[in-house]
Structure 1
């Protein structure tokens, strides 16, 4: 099983990267969460935000597999402990790459290596479209999309 997306964004890769890591922008892009990590290969990565465990609920966690600023972010992906009791057994890999494409940025995301019968596949398939569209909108206009929730 694999999810794969390509978006072309009308700005420089540094601007897109800023949406991923600047807390005010990423909170909007990731529908209420921010990345918390040293971003060193082998270190932890978490997507945290308001939820069942308060303002710092861990929604996604994993380990950084690759990190090159404005170019590559890859990590293992587990749902947060408050979402599923068996969260540690549920894993996939996310690899996001940015590359200049004319005066634009090509954003390529692959979410693969899903554990068997992972119930998050369907939910993730739905939300990546919204998150990536939000990243594009924020990078190009400074504003997130209004999904009505």
Structure 2
């Protein structure tokens, strides 16, 4: 199973990269969560924000696979502990890639290598559209999307 999305964003790679890794960028695009990591391959990361366990809910966590500034962010991810009791057994890979296309930035997202019968697969199909649309809107306008939650 592979989910793949390509978005063309009317912003430079630095702005799009900032949306992927900065606290301000991730809070605006990843449902209020902040990406916490030192971004060294082999090291942990977590998206932490408001949720089931209060303000410090771990929504997704895992290990950084690849980190090339302004180019590639890759990680193995698990759903947060409050979502599934077997969260450590559930895994998928996420890769964000940025490239210049004219004066735009092409953002490619690949989410693959899902554990068999991963319960978050269907949710990921819907959530990535929202996250990527939020990244595009935030980098182009400085505004966030309100999904009414």
With the length of structure 1 as denominator, give the TM-score of the two structures: 0.97
Can you give the 5+ residue segments of structure 2 that lack an aligned partner in the other structure? none
What does 1:27-42 align with in structure 2 at a 5 Å threshold? 27-42=27-42
After superposition, where does 1:79-118 map in structure 2 within 5 Å? 79-118=79-118
Residue pairs, 1:1-149, within 5 angstroms: 1-149=1-149
Of 99-108 and 19-28, more deviation after overlay is shown by 19-28
Greater mean deviation of Cα atoms: 24-33 or 130-139: 24-33
2:121 partner SS: helix
Find the residue that maps to 2:16 and give its secondary structure: helix
CA distance in 2, matches of 1:86, 1:129: 26
Query: 2 CA distance for matches of 1:88 and 1:4?
Result: 24
Q: Per-residue deviation at 1:62?
A: 0.6
The separation in 2 between residues aligned to 1:147 and 1:55, in whole angstroms, is 19
Q: Deviations over 1:77-128 (max 9, x none)?
A: 1000111100011100000000111000000000000000001000010000
Relative to the length of structure 2, the TM-score reads 0.97
User: What are the ranges of 5 or more consecutive residues in structure 1 without an aligned counterpart?
Assistant: none
In structure 2, distance between residues paired with 1:46 and 1:11: 26
The 3-state SS of whatever aligns with 1:35 is strand
Distance 1:130 1:39 in 2: 24
Flag as ranges the 4+ runs of structure 1 deviating above 4 A. none
